[in-house]
Amino acid sequence: MRRLRRIKILATLGPASSDSTMIRKLFEAGADIFRINMSHTPHDKLRELVTTIRSVESSYGRPIGILVDLQGPKLRVGTFADGPVQLNNGQSFVLDSDKTPGDATRVHLPHPEILAALQPGHALLLDDGKVRLIAEETSPTRAVTRVVIGGKMSDRKGVSLPDTDLPVSAMTPKDRADLEAALNIGVDWIALSFVQRADDVLEAKKIIRGRAAVMSKIEKPQAIDRLNDILDVSDALMVARGDLGVELPLERVPGLQKQMTRMARRAGKPVVVATQMLESMIQSPVPTRAEVSDVATAVYEGADAIMLSAESAAGKFPVEAVSTMNRIGEEVERDAVYRSVIAAQRPEPESTAGDAIAEAARRIAENLDLPTIICWTSSGSTAVRVARERPRPPIVAITPNVATGRKLSVVWGVHCVVAEDARDQDDMVERAGSIAFRDGFVRAGQRVLVVAGVPLGTPGTTNMVRIAYVGPSSEASL
What is the reported pLDDT for 410? 98
Stretch 36-43: mean pLDDT, rounded?
Answer: 96
Which backbone phi and psi does 467 adopt, to 5 degrees? -90, 130
What is the reported pLDDT for 476? 37
Residue 345 lies in a domain: no
Task: Output the DSSP codes for 215-236.
Answer: EEEE-SHHHHHTHHHHHHH-SE
Residue 394 lies in a domain: yes
Residues 278 and 226 occupy one common structural domain: yes
- The span from the CA of 342 to the CA of 92, in Å, is 51
What is the reported pLDDT for 312? 98
Residues 254 and 131 occupy one common structural domain: no
Reported as a pLDDT band with limits 50, 70 and 90, residue 472 is low
* Residue 135: strand pairing partners: 145
With pLDDT > 70 as the criterion, what percentage of the chain qualifies? Answer: 98
With pLDDT > 90 as the criterion, what percentage of the chain qualifies? Answer: 91
Identify the CA nearest to 292 among candidates 308, 271, 277, 275. 277
What is the reported pLDDT for 467? 94
Torsion from C-alpha of 405, 393, 300, 29, nearest 10 degrees = -50
Stretch 216-243: mean pLDDT, rounded?
Answer: 96
Question: Does residue 478 surpass a pLDDT of 70?
Answer: no
Model confidence pLDDT, tens digit, residues 276-301: 999 999 999 999 999 999 999 999 99
Stretch 41-58: mean pLDDT, rounded?
Answer: 98
Residues 226 and 275 occupy one common structural domain: yes
Model confidence pLDDT, tens digit, residues 324-348: 999 999 999 999 999 999 999 999 9
Model confidence pLDDT, tens digit, residues 346-383: 999 888 888 999 999 999 999 999 999 999 999 999 99
Stretch 212-228: mean pLDDT, rounded?
Answer: 96
Residues 316 and 184 occupy one common structural domain: yes
Mean pLDDT, the chain, integer? 95
Contact 5, 40 (CB under 8 A): no
At 467, which helix (H) or strand (E)? strand 462-469
CATH of residue 401's domain is 3.40.1380.20
Question: Does residue 454 surpass a pLDDT of 80?
Answer: no
What is the reported pLDDT for 354? 87
Residue 129 lies in a domain: yes
- Specify the 3-state DSSP secondary structure of 376: strand
What is the reported pLDDT for 103? 97
The total domain count for the chain is 3
What is the reported pLDDT for 27? 98
Contact 53, 23 (CB under 8 A): yes
Domain that holds residue 142: 85-160
Residues 287 and 398 occupy one common structural domain: no
